[in-house]
């Protein structure tokens, strides 16, 4: 199975995403933002974390116009699997592949720490390796991770089970205290209606191997490999 990891000026998690994808069993190719085509037989595209184009204007606002993003949007609209992590989530929101926006953290400061997530829906291509309501540990590193959408959109996400990760504490309890950025309903990760596009603020790729101190995040990549085989 082939995975493409996109690199923009300012990306800083592309090699982490390559490492995790390789570890899961993908053949990985790194794609520069100025490319205009994805390689043939691409199965998965990852838009990694970082500060694409220096976060000028707003996070992800310039990256959405990168030449390669036209192909990524087309790929997703044709059913291809896409993951946007942190800045990648912000870019997917800007392209409208995912609903909502990412606002400044409610604490008005950059948060860099380990947090806990509960797997709200394990029946997706991105979560089938996890158990229902499993609690996993992942790092976050963002200043604009506060997920927001209007009431109608939030209701649709809830009713369609498109919210697949929520911030929680170590016991799996969902609370304001466990929410690091103020996201509505403790939302940490969502999928589109067709369930082939995932956006999440936490970094599963940074906890993909026990040598990193935790491998809870590798399940995201292994789940996709299970789905694609």
Residue boundaries of the structural domains of the chain: 2-228
Mean pLDDT calculated for residue range 144-167: 98
**0.95 exceeded by pTM:** yes
What pLDDT sits at residue 158?
A: 98
Annotated catalytic, 203? Answer: yes
Annotated catalytic, 86? Answer: yes
Q: Does residue 130 contact residue 219 with C-beta atoms inside 8 Å?
A: yes
pLDDT tens figures, 174-211: 999 999 999 999 999 999 999 999 999 999 999 999 99
User: What do you get for the CA distance between the two ends of the chain, in Å?
Assistant: 8
What pLDDT sits at residue 200?
A: 98
Q: Is the pLDDT of residue 168 over 90?
A: yes
Percent of the chain with pLDDT over 70: 100
Annotated catalytic, 3? Answer: no
Q: How many C-beta atoms surround the C-beta of residue 131 within 10 A? A: 10
Residue 57 binned pLDDT confidence (cut-offs 50, 70, 90): confident
Mean pLDDT calculated for residue range 95-110: 97
CATH of domain 2-228: 3.40.50.880
* Residue 46 phi, psi (nearest 5): -115, 125
Residue 36 binned pLDDT confidence (cut-offs 50, 70, 90): very high
Among 4, 13, 86, 129, the active-site one is 86
CA 155 – CA 45 distance, rounded (Å) = 28
Beta strand 44-47 with 101-103 is unpaired
Taking each helix axis from N to C end, the angle separating 14-24 and 218-228, rounded to the nearest 10 degrees, works out to: 50
Q: What's the chain's average pLDDT?
A: 97
């Amino acid at each position: 199975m082939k995975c493409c990891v996109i690199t923009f000026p300012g990306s800083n998690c592309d090699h982490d995403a390559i490492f995790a994808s390789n570890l899961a069993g993908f053949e990985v190719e790194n794609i520069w933002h100025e490319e205009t085509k994805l390689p043939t037989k691409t199965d998965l595209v990852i838009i990694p974390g970082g500060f694409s184009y220096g976060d000028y204007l707003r996070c992800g606002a310039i990256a959405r116009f990168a030449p390669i993003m036209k192909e990524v949007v087309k790929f997703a609209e044709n059913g291809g699997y896409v993951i946007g992590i942190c800045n990648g989530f912000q870019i997917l929101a800007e392209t409208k592949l995912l609903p909502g926006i990412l606002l400044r953290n409610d604490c008005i400061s950059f948060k860099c720490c380990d947090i806990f997530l509960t797997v709200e829906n394990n029946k997706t291509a991105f979560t089938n390796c996890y158990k229902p309501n499993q609690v996993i540990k992942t790092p976050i590193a963002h200043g604009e991770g506060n997920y927001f959408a209007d009431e109608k959109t939030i209701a649709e996400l809830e009713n369609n089970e498109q919210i697949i990760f929520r911030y929680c504490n170590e016991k799996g309890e969902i609370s304001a205290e466990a929410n690091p950025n103020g996201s509505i309903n403790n939302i940490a990760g969502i999928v589109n209606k067709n369930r082939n596009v995932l956006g999440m603020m936490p970094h599963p790729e940074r906890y993909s191997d026990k040598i990193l101190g935790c491998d809870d995040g590798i399940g995201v990549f292994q789940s996709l490999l299970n789905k694609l085989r």
